[in-house]
Structure 1
Amino acid sequence: MTDFERKVYRIIFNMTRFGKNPSMEQLKRKTGKSEEDIRAAVKSLMMKGELKWDKRKQIWSI
């Protein structure tokens, strides 16, 4: 896991712990990166099995 992937993972983890899903705008503000970079990091984390999106509940599962 790269440093940026770890940062995105920790942001998602910490926000979902309190029942919130981070929006793209929140992720962009907290990381200082572009939407494309964030999407690539999330896709990589999903392919590695670190993150999963629960379509039914509309929330990240870690």
Structure 2
Amino acid sequence: MSDLERKLYRIIYNMSRFRRNPSIDELKRKTGKDEKSIRKAVRNLMTRNELAWDKEKKEWRFK
């Protein structure tokens, strides 16, 4: 897991504990990265099954 992936995982995990999904703008501000990098890192986490989006509950699931 790269540094950016680990950072995004922790941000999403911590924010979802309070029933709040971070927006792309919040992730950009907290990581200092651009949208393309963030989307790529989240996609990598999802393909490795570290992170999953539950469409029915509209929340993240973690490994």
Calculate the TM-score normalised by the size of structure 2.
0.96
What residue identity is the alignment partner of 2:20? K
Segments of 5+ residues of structure 2 without an aligned counterpart are none
2:55 paired with 1:55: yes
1:37 partnered with 2:44:
no
Q: For the residues of structure 1 that align with 2:47 and 2:10, how far apart are their CA atoms?
A: 17
Could you list the structure 1 runs, at least 4 aligned residues long, displaced by more than 3 angstroms after superposition: none
Identical counterparts, % of pairs:
60
What is the alpha-carbon root mean square deviation over aligned residues?
0.5
Q: State the distance in 2 between where 1:23 and 1:60 align.
A: 13
TM-score, structure 1 normalization: 0.97
